[in-house]
Chains A and B, each alone.
Chain A
Amino acid sequence: MLSVNILLAACLAYVFLLFTVAFIVDRRTRERPINWLHSPVIYTLSISVYCTSWTFYGAVGSAARNGLEFITIYLGPTLVFVGWWWLLRKLVRIGRAHRITSIADLISSRYGKSSSLAVLVTLIAVTATTPYIALQLQSVTRSYQVIATGADGVTTAFWVAAGMALFTILFGTRNLDANERHHGVVAAIALEAIVKLLALIAVGVYATYFVADGFADVFANVPNEVIQGSGDIFGPRWIILTFLSATAVICLPRQFQVTVVENIDEKQLATASWLFPLYLFGMTLFIMPIALVGLKVMPAGANPDLYVLTLPLAAERNELALFAFLGGFSSATSMVIVAAIAVSTMVSNHIVMPIALRLLAANQAVSGDVRNLLLISRRVSIAVILGLGFLYFYVSGGSEALAAIGLIAFVGVAQFLPSLVGGIFWRGATRIGAIAGLIAGASLWAYTLFLPSFGGHFILSSEVLANGPWGLDILRPQALLGLTGLDPLVHAVVWSVGINALLFIVVSCFTQSDVLERLQGTLFVDVYRSAGGAPTTQTSGTAETEDLYILAQRILGSQPARDLFDEMALAQGINRGLPHPTDSVILRLERELAGSIGAASAHAMVTRIAGGQTVGMSELIDIADETQELIETSRQLAEKSAALERTARQLRVVNERLRTLDAQKDEFLSQVSHELRTPMTSVRSFAEILIENKDTSPETASRFLSIIHDESIRLTRLLDEILDISSLEAGRTELILDEVETHTAVMRAIDTIAGITHKAGVNVEISGDIKGLKTKANDDRLRQVLINILSNAVKYNTSEIPNIHVRTHSSELYIYIDIIDNGGGVSREEASSVFEKFARGSSAGSNQGAGLGLPISRAIMRAMNGDLTLEFASDGSSFFRISLAKI
């Protein structure tokens, strides 16, 4: 038999080794980072804290009782890690970006840094972890009792608990490092992981190859029921167990601690994705053989839960038994240490600190060092949690099946799953939804599984268990709403996780999230998108940097706080003194503090000092996700395209005008050349005749010469007119304007053309009285216009008894001279073209002039601030109207 003294000595030596490793690593990392500690292997080994004494002892017991079913507990984590890319990677990224300290911190952070959620999650975690710790105490005690028969279980458990509390306090609260990393602890845990793996394999190899004769012998003559268990092994329980274990490896506070919080480099996950399943594979490979050999070799009454230890003991293999004991001890202690750190962080950050800070805030005189307070609160929390575990062990007296307690804890933490996964993948998840789901799920878990596990000795009596409260059959805890025929575990999972997820989704759909919550939700869901997860939030208020500095000193300690503020001041270009309390400074500080005391508390403290509203306008704009960006973009696009359309329309109009002008120019040119060509041709032909026919009679020659002379004059006049109109239209001709008495001007013009009118037999009639009315005009030019219009009226008059009526009248601003003739007039169709160059009235005969008279006249009138227009009388006849500005 293994002597108790040797066992105790070995235990103490082992514990001393753990302390030494943790101490050295902790001290060394303070000086500089230790490279091998960043290795993915160490990371993976620390994750193997999943394998507790429940695996070490309990899995063998489970295999002996239920066959292969124990394997589900390792299948779930295997699937989760194989699929690391889709969930774990995101959790780790969020954890690093937002300095998450625990699963409670993550959930509360996601839902708007809600402290109520943090407290809720913490309470559930404590409730689920306490029995689990008790289980570890129990297994260490049991295994100790196997060797030290007659040792008092309670005393042993007490000393084990005290020792673990000491270790955890020493190495788990040495520093309030940002990000809550505990290098010393991780190193010790990794060492323990190796010890427990080797111990289990050693016992397995011994059982398989020394007690039995290889695998074939182990399985020889084993009835199928032993391997497949009684009943249907691959039923709902198989699925539920796999689901639970998959959930547990994410949601258990200690797993979250080692996987997310202690993660140093995201790439470690890639290695862990296969190395951790491999570790589990190694742990479970020999469990079945040990169980089967134990069943064959050990006496009928032996506890299968302790086969790992009793099998070597029975054969007097003391060294192996000692090794096995240390393996079990390792798996128990590592779990307890990490769980205590994880849960105490939650308790201290989310329950103790907020209360303490409120008390401090109420009593400003006691401005204690928050840093010390934090350390004390964390140490007390660790002691309290281990105390609770011990108490549970003491009260429950150690229930028989170890595995049951583990599964109860699994279902408890599975309540976090909907809020956790929903929170990081679904932006619409709200705080109220999470709270509703968690409360309902946790209550159902307590009612259908946790409380019934006391077998009617705690709160729920056996009477209630059997018949339901107040005899209401429908409320029986293990057959809720008459749901019978299910395994109690499956029943509890279906109800608690089912209702939890359902409420979470439905309530989320019907509630609104506040601004900070939406912001956090977006940051979490889109963690890959925001570079480094730097949120662009925070307080817009009038923060006093000094207050913030004092706060930082209290929590981070004076030197780190000074370093931090110096760094931030330097970044702002301030060499001495404190930085300006900009949003980024406040944000940075909040994140640094969050690494020590959790996001909710850090947020509460910083906002209390920074004051003002939590989220300002600029953050609201940040929250504007792609939808809003899209709306903005499409609005700008619409604006741009409208502007483009306007421009295009204007361009079309301008283009049209240009085309018209171009056509007019071409026409003008061809008209000009035509008009010039006619006289030029006659000049040339008469000149040629004169040159070639020397014998032309002097009379004929002189007639020809006079024609040439006339044509030349006409050409000159035409060219003069063209020059005149172009200079008038271009505004190059400066007309000198004088005061002109209109009536006199009109009479003089009529006198001038008296010769023509007389010759044509046209009667000119004058009406109206504009005597004494003056205008500003160039007298000669005005006469030119009047003569032009009057002579036109004479020239184009085709009437039998031609008559011209010059009607003068005036309005307030203008003097009008209407020249009305009874000739053909101008039709409405022609009206638009009469002022075009080279246009002639349809009634005009050939060779009547170049058709530049009217355009020139109008250009002159306009140059004198007057106008020449074609008007239509009520009977359809047309007349020309000369308007002159009155002075």
Chain B
Amino acid sequence: MAGNSDLQLSRRKTRDKSVALLIVGFILMMPPIVRTSLFEGSIFGIPYTVFYMFTVWALLIVGAAIMAPRLRDSDKSREGDSTGQGLD
């Protein structure tokens, strides 16, 4: 059963990572952290604020693209999972 529990553990990890990605994305794009992008200056001629927003956004998309197939596969064999527990 060791293989099975390893599998479950890795699925749990995958889900944890996807939550972490979401939270990090949220924090980086919401005040107060997003205010750190307010200083003047530019990178490749693009104002820092604009550059910051689009970079964070792009990284979020890349992260989601990496996570998506793993999350999808983690659903394949196991229908019931912790998210189905409800909030009673």
Question: Does A428 touch B at the CB level, under 8 Å?
Answer: yes
Is A267 in the interface zone, CB < 8 Å from B?
yes
Option from B32, B64, B84 in Cβ contact (under 8 Å) with A528: B84
Verify A274–B65 contact, CB threshold 8 A.
Answer: yes
Q: Which residues of A contact B15 (CB under 8 A)?
A: 85
Q: Give the CA-CA distance A863 to B7 in the complex, in Å.
A: 76
Once A79-B25, A82-B63, A425-B86 are accepted as A-B contacts, the answer to whether A220 and B45 lie under 8 Å apart by CB is yes
Q: Which of B18, B79, B85 contacts A531 (CB 8 A)?
A: B79
B46 to A: closest C-beta gap in Å: 5
CB-defined contacts of B9 to chain A, threshold 8 Å = none
Q: Does A227 contact B (CB under 8 A)?
A: yes
Residue of A81, A85, A427 near B83 (CB, 8 A) is A85
Q: Given the complex of chains A and B, what is the CA–CA distance between A278 and B87 in angstroms?
A: 32
Chain A neighbourhood of B84, CB < 8 A: 90, 525-529
The stretch that binds B, out of A235-243, A435-443, A557-565, is A235-243
B13 CB–A CB distance under 8 Å? no
> Contacts A220-B45, A428-B88; is A75 near B64 (CB within 8 Å)?
no
Please, how many angstroms separate the alpha-carbon atoms of A350 and B15 in the complex?
A: 38
Residues of B within 8 A of A612 (CB): none
> Is B30 touching A242 in the complex (CB atoms < 8 A)?
yes
Pick from A89, A228, A270: contact of B49, CB under 8 Å: A228
Contact yes or no, B30 A85, CB < 8 A: no
Among A75, A224, A427, A428: residue with most chain B CB under 10 A: A75
The answer to whether A78 touches B60, judged by C-beta atoms less than 8 angstroms apart, is yes
Interface residues on B, range: 35 or more
A68 at the interface (CB under 8 A from B): yes
User: In the complex, what's the smallest C-beta–C-beta distance from B60 to chain A, in angstroms?
Assistant: 6
Min distance, Cβ A236 to any Cβ of chain B, angstroms? 9
Contact mask B18-62 → A, CB, 8 Å, 1/0? 110110011001111011001010101111011001100110111
B58-88: CB near A (< 8 Å → 1, else 0) gives: 1011111101110110010001110111111
Which A residues touch B69, using CB under 8 A?
270
Instruction: List the count of A-B residue pairs having beta carbons below 8 Å apart.
Output: 128
Q: Mark A281-321, 1 if CB is under 8 A from B, else 0.
A: 10001001000000000000000000000000000000000
Q: Please determine whether A427 and B88 come into contact, CB atoms closer than 8 angstroms.
A: yes
* A138: interface (CB < 8 Å): no
Which of B18, B21, B80 contacts A529 (CB under 8 A)?
A: B80
Residues of B near A68 (CB, < 8 A) are 49-50, 53
Q: What's the nearest-Cβ distance from chain A to residue B40, in Å?
A: 6
Given A219-B47, A227-B49, A281-B58, A528-B80 contact (CB < 8 Å):
yes
Q: Are B38 and A528 in contact (CB under 8 A)?
A: no
Contact assessment for B64 and A71 in the assembled complex, using a CB-CB cutoff below 8 Å:
no
Partner of A216, one of B18, B19, B44, B62: B44
Once bound together, how far apart are the Cα atoms of A274 and B34, in whole Å? 22
State whether B50 touches A288 (Cβ < 8 A).
yes
Given A90-B83, A426-B86, A81-B64 contact (CB < 8 Å): yes
Q: Which residues of A contact B54 (CB under 8 A)?
A: 281, 285
A629 at the interface (CB under 8 A from B): no
Which of A360-411 touch B at CB < 8 Å? none
Task: Give the shortest distance, in Å, between A452 (CB) and chain B (any CB).
Answer: 27
A217 touches B35 (CB 8 A): no
A526 to B87, CA, bound (A): 10
Q: How far is the CA of A730 from the CA of B71 in the complex (A)?
A: 78
Write out, one digit per residue, whether chain A residues 209-243 have a CB within 8 A of any chain B CB (1) or not (0): 00000111111101010011000001100110010
> Provided the pairs A217-B45, A273-B68 are in contact, do residues A86 and B83 lie with their beta carbons within 8 angstroms?
yes
Q: Chain A: which residue is nearest B82 at the CB level?
A: A528
Nearest A residue to B88 via CB reads A427
A823 within 8 A of B: no
Of A228, A235, A281, which contacts B57 at CB under 8 A? A281
Do A85 and B71 touch across chains, with their CB atoms under 8 A apart?
A: yes
Q: 19 new A-B pairs (CB below 8 Å) besides A71-B57, A89-B75, A281-B54?
A: A75-B57, A82-B64, A86-B83, A90-B83, A216-B46, A218-B45, A220-B45, A224-B47, A227-B47, A227-B50, A242-B30, A270-B68, A426-B87, A427-B86, A526-B85, A527-B84, A528-B83, A529-B80, A529-B84
Q: Pick 16 A–B contacts, CB within 8 A, sort by A.
A: A83-B22, A86-B22, A89-B75, A220-B45, A228-B49, A238-B30, A242-B29, A273-B64, A274-B62, A274-B65, A285-B54, A426-B88, A427-B88, A526-B85, A527-B84, A529-B80
In the complex, the 9 A-B pairs of residues with the closest C-beta atoms, listed nearest first: A216-B45, A528-B84, A270-B72, A274-B65, A274-B64, A525-B86, A83-B22, A270-B68, A82-B64
Residues of B within 8 A of A (CB): 15, 18-19, 21-22, 25-26, 29-32, 34-35, 38, 40, 42, 44-47, 49-50, 53-54, 57-58, 60-65, 67-69, 71-72, 75, 79-81, 83-88
